[in-house]
A and B are shown apart, each in its own frame.
Chain A
Amino acid sequence: MAGNLYNKPVLFAIVAAVVILIGTTVTMFIPMLTAEMHPKLANLKPYTALQLTGKDIYQREGCNNCHTQTVRPLKTEVMRYGEYSKAGEFTYDRPFLWGSKRTGPDLARIGGKYPDQWHEIHFDSPQSMYPDSNMPVYGWLKDNKLDPPSIEHHMKANDFPTTPGEIAELKAKTELDALVAYMQVIGTAVTGTK
């Protein structure tokens, strides 16, 4: 029988596909159908238009190449960054932005840690605050205006609630404002759920 398999390419491919789909089904498709893969913290709110735009800029600039957004339940890690990450914090992230490398520090608890102005100065020149930092400068983001119609489109694609007033307000904002707004909301839903 085995001999047959190696001179029947179509049968071979079907058997290979089945073999590949077993692990796929058990570890990926079946969990997807269960509630434990779709949790949501009570405090978690959809992103506002400005925050979502900030998140899109975070993705565009590839911030996730150097920053993680998940605190592991390890003693020193919780001491360094704060409360460890909960599954229900990421319901509105399409996709998740946990990252895989900490060239810079984890950002899972960056929201509310510093005032807006701190971020503006830091984005403008990370080295002015930390001379040894190797982060690129992002001050140029403040020269870029936002494009409200496309942001409205992005809000709809995510099914996030928005109002014409909220979209109109974006005209006065810059990409730097959006990125700072996103920084300030990351990881804040966990407050009060300890």
Chain B
Amino acid sequence: MVDYRYDNQTVKGFVISSIFWGVVGIVIGLWISVQLWLPSWNIAPYFTYGRLRVVHTNGLAYGLGIGAIFGISYYIVMRLTKRPLLFPKLARFHLYLFNAAIALAALSLFAGMNQSLEYAELEWPLDIGVVILWVIFAVNIFGTVIKRNEDQMYISLWYVLATVVAVAVLYIVNNLAIPAGWTKSYSVFAGVNSANVQWWYGHNAVGFIFTTPFLAMFYYFLPKSTGLPIFSHRLSIIAFWSLIFAYLWTGAHHLVYTPLPDWIQTLGIAFTIFLIAPSWGSVINGYYTVGSDWSKMQSNYLTKFFILGITFYGLQTVQGPTQGLRVVSQLIHYTDWVPGHVHMGTMGWVTMIAVASIYYIIPKIYHTEIHSVKIANIHFWLVLIGQLIFSITMWITGIMQGALWKATNADGSLKYTFMDVLSKNYPYWQMRTVGGVIFTIGMLFFIYNIIMTMRKGSLEPVGAKA
């Protein structure tokens, strides 16, 4: 019962905030998925596809993703350093500032304040806010780790520290801009060079927001919830260093066949192929960890969230490098295949690991058990089915689009107009909405389960029982 020293209020605050912004982001995701097959759902000026899509991506990457990263990293870091956060009041301020920033960010994107850099759309005043949030996070993480009561830093701490360092560099460089008023700026980088900077950032946002912090959670919560030690410490060392080394070379695989110099494209593609190895280092470590006792898949409801999550991570990190190859890229790039790929990562890997971590944390800090394992299982199957419908539908239509765009008649002329191909997408776009609705229903089961668990437990430890 040393738990009382940990700042569970802040962790809880971030977890709830992250779920809240997750709901906002998912609802807008459903909305834009309908807009694609029902354009009358565009309500100008604030709720057109062009504005809502960035609210969707930013709301989920920053609101759900970063919110979960802040809260769950604090939770993990306190346990692995065997001490409370060094600056608990700063962490509380961090929580309030985070929510204020996300709310303002959403409003600014509805209003069309947009730098047009994917996953870095926010205009410069909000960029400064994001940097302040990150500095606060860094100060508390590094301070707490430096003043730790446990000599060795466990694998999860490596991933958290690497995340703090890498995101700082990526975010600041890519957002450098010349302000032209409070709501408008022009990038310091232009043309081909700006494309190279943006995708160096864009791909590493995937690497250091959607990968390393969630690997930190995976390496912490998988052994915690199964009671099984990580299979290989040595493998985790190799995988960690080769992952953070190789990721930074790969951004140009987003720019295959563009005017970016060929050598940068080729280098990016080559390192992308290499990246399969460290990614699968973690996949194998996860499989072999549970491999010592596969009955955990049945006896512990969280195990399947982690194992399916790492499986989608494994599939994602093979599919991604495949897409980078020129011969594949020329077919599927710019098609709906790509959202199919992205959503396997976000719905299959990131969300799966985040919800599993939250399922572990909430009963712990509320000194109780999960409200219902049965509801958690329903949640699991619904999000799994919803995500598979989404991704598989998009892969099918993506290949169709790519192939029809290239199709030629016997005389060499193009067989289909752009509109011919677009028309064929409608049933797939509708099916994608169905997948999204199923996924959303699954997430509602999750939220209900979490709320009920909070209701029956208490943040205060039951003194008499201790």
Contacts and interface: CB of A to CB of B under 8 A. Distances in A.
A93 to B, nearest CB: 6
A76 B148 CA distance: 60
Contacts of A87: 191-192, 259-261
Contacts of B180: 150, 153-154, 156-158
B291 interface: no
A107 to B, nearest CB: 11
Contact of A2 (B178, B179, B237, B335): B237
Contacts of B414: 76, 79-80
A169 B113 CA distance: 25
B163 to A, nearest CB: 10
Interface in A1-49: 2, 6-7, 9-10, 12-13, 16-17, 19-24, 26-28, 31-32, 36-39
Interface string A129-144: 0101111111010000
Q: Is the interface of B mostly helix, strand, loop or mixed?
A: helix
B249 A96 contact: no
Residue from B35, B45, B179, B191 whose CB has the most chain A CB atoms within 10 Å: B191
Interface string B185-203: 1111111111111101000
B242 to A, nearest CB: 9
Interface residues of B, number: 96
Contact of B54 (A22, A62, A91, A158): A62
B151 A94 contact: no
A97 interface: yes
B330 interface: yes
A101 B422 CA distance: 13
B4 interface: no
Contacts, number: 254
Contacts of B261: 31, 36-37, 87
Contact of B244 (A19, A63, A157): A19
B44 A138 contact: yes
Nearest to B202: A100
Contacts of A96: 190-192, 194-195, 198
Interface residues of A, number: 80
A158 B188 CA distance: 9
Nearest to A86: B259
Contacts of A7: 151-153
Interface in A72-95: 72-74, 76-77, 79-80, 85-87, 89-95
B162 A56 contact: no
Interface in A48-76: 56, 59-66, 68, 70, 72-74, 76
A44 to B, nearest CB: 10
Contacts of B244: 16, 19-20
Contacts of A9: 142, 145-146, 148, 153, 157, 161
A94 B192 contact: no
B187 A24 contact: no
A21 B152 contact: no
A159 B61 CA distance: 34
A127 interface: yes
A36 B162 CA distance: 32
Given A9-B153, A16-B244, A23 B193 contact: no
A105 interface: yes
Nearest to B147: A9
From B116, B250, B423, residue with most partner A Cβ within 10 Å: B116
A76 B193 contact: no
A99 B407 CA distance: 23
Residue from the set A39, A91, A98 with the largest chain B CB neighbour count within 10 Å = A98
A19 B158 CA distance: 13
A102 interface: yes
A138 B50 CA distance: 11
B36 A76 contact: no
Nearest to B339: A101
B169 A23 contact: no
Interface stretch (B82-90, B98-106, B215-223, B264-272): B264-272
Interface of A: 2, 6-7, 9-10, 12-13, 16-17, 19-24, 26-28, 31-32, 36-39, 56, 59-66, 68, 70, 72-74, 76-77, 79-80, 85-87, 89-106, 126-127, 130, 132-138, 140, 150, 153-154, 156-158
27 contacts: A7-B153, A9-B146, A13-B142, A16-B166, A16-B244, A20-B162, A21-B169, A23-B246, A27-B200, A27-B267, A37-B193, A59-B116, A79-B414, A80-B418, A86-B259, A90-B195, A92-B191, A95-B116, A96-B195, A100-B254, A106-B334, A133-B39, A137-B42, A137-B44, A150-B184, A154-B181, A154-B184
Interface of B: 35-39, 42, 44-45, 48-51, 53-54, 112-118, 142, 145-146, 148, 151-153, 157-158, 161-162, 164-166, 169, 177-181, 184-198, 200, 237, 241, 244-252, 254-255, 257-261, 264, 267-268, 271, 330, 334-336, 338-339, 405-408, 413-414, 418-419, 422-423, 426
* A-B residue pairs, 3 tightest by C-beta: A62-B50, A23-B248, A90-B191
